[in-house]
Amino acid sequence: QLQLQESGPGLVKPSETLSLTCSVSGGSITSRSHYWGWIRQPPGKGLEWVGGSYYSGPIYHNPSLKSRVTISVDTSKNQLSLKLTSVSAADTAVYFCARLGDTLTTPRVAFDIWGQGTMVTVSS
Partner 1 sequence: QSALTQPASVSGSPGQSITISCTGTSSDVGDYDFVSWYRQHPGKAPKLLIYEVTNRPSGVSNRFSGSKSGNTASLTISGLQAEDEADYYCTSYTISSTYVIFGGGTTLTVL
Binding site for partner 1 (CB under 8 A): 35, 37, 39, 46-49, 51-52, 60-64, 96, 98, 100-101, 103, 106-112, 114-117
Could you tell me the smallest distance in angstroms from the CB atom of residue 121 to partner 1?
16
Which residue's CB is nearer to partner 1, number 76 or number 103? 103
For residue 34, give every residue at least 6 positions away whose Cβ sits within 8 Å of its Cβ, in sequence order, or none: 54, 99, 100, 101, 102, 105
Q: Which one, 15 or 33, has the nearer CB to partner 1?
A: 33
**Minimum gap (Å) between residue 14 Cβ and partner 1:** 26
Among 111, 89, 97, residue whose Cα is nearest residue 42: 89
C-beta of 16 vs 65, nearer to partner 1: 65
Question: How far is residue 118 CA from its own chain's centroid?
Answer: 10
* Rounded to 5°, angle at Cα 77 from 86 and 97: 50
